[in-house]
Amino acid sequence: MEDHASLLKIAIEAAETAAVPLKEVVSGYRSVHMEDSHDVKLQADLESEKRIRSFLREHAPYPIIGEEEGGDPDLLDRKDPYWVVDPLDGTFNYQRSIPHCCVSIALMQGRQSLVGAVLDFNRNELFTGGEGLPFCINGQPHAPRWADSIGKACLCTGFPHEMDRSDDSVKAFFHQLFQYKKVRMIGTAALSVSYVAAGYFDAYYETGVRLWDIAAGLAFANSTGAFIELKDWPGNTLTFDFWMAGKSEFALPRV
């Protein structure tokens, strides 16, 4: 396996390759491929993943787990390195021209994320990091400044497709939110974990989040020292309850 800096460079170039037509909104990219009551997939999701997979196969042909074309979930319990790709996180935002969406690519080995790159192609903001590497924004090392108490902290969260929307679950969820100074929902998990790494937010939590949404965040935690908690959903592969926080006390147990 190549060194982490070289692999990160490949991840960045793959994300940049996919971002060009996304930013230009190539004809047909906002066409709906699939839609249900809580989710939407666009042609952009499919085309972006195709571009990323083609680039990675050419430059670092490890197995790939992607949001659109899937992959082997058993890779999480093996020693083989593999790519984890979210070709367009924040699809609904993209469809509605809300400028909060990104491309996210990480290289993992088992449950360890070695390198990660998240490219916000609307703001031209690139977040990178990984094992033995600094956390950087647009190539410049960046040290986050997190709140010193939960009463001053900003939590980012969301309602993923897999979330339990029963009354008891939602009430318990909202009970937790009132302990933070502010709560934000931006509609993209990959940018949310990037913002925790950057210190824009102090904590991020979602239940039922998918691996490709947070794989880069795992890499960023290696660089920043952020607290991570990742719990499997029994019987639901590649799905987790996930906390990422500047301090462990910002990550509360579910009530």
Q: How far apart are CA 143 and CA 187, in angstroms?
A: 25
| Cα 131 from chain centre | 17
* Total-model pTM: 0.94
CB 231, CB 239: distance < 8 Å: no
How many other C-beta atoms lie within 10 A of the C-beta of residue 137? Answer: 15
Q: Which residues contact 78 (CB under 8 A, 6 or more apart)?
A: 110
Can you give the pLDDT of all 255 residues of the chain as single tens digits?
679 999 999 999 999 999 999 999 989 899 988 877 677 899 999 999 999 999 999 999 999 999 999 999 999 999 999 999 999 999 999 999 999 999 999 999 999 999 999 999 999 999 999 999 999 999 999 999 999 999 999 999 987 666 666 777 777 777 788 899 999 999 999 999 999 999 999 999 998 899 999 999 999 999 999 999 999 988 889 999 999 999 999 998 754
The pLDDT, as a whole number, for residue 255 is 47
Q: Which amino acid is at 214?
A: I
Give the bridge partners for 87, in sequence order. Answer: none
Q: Which residue matches tokens 């390759």?
A: 17
The pLDDT, as a whole number, for residue 161 is 64
Structure tokens at 114: 């070695």
The pLDDT, as a whole number, for residue 60 is 97
CB 88, CB 94: distance < 8 Å: yes
Query: In the chain, what are the domains?
Result: 4-141 (3.30.540.10), 150-250 (3.40.190.80)
* CA distances, 145 to each of 56, 196, 201, 205 (Å): 34, 10, 9, 19
Q: How far apart are CA 147 and CA 178, in angstroms?
A: 16
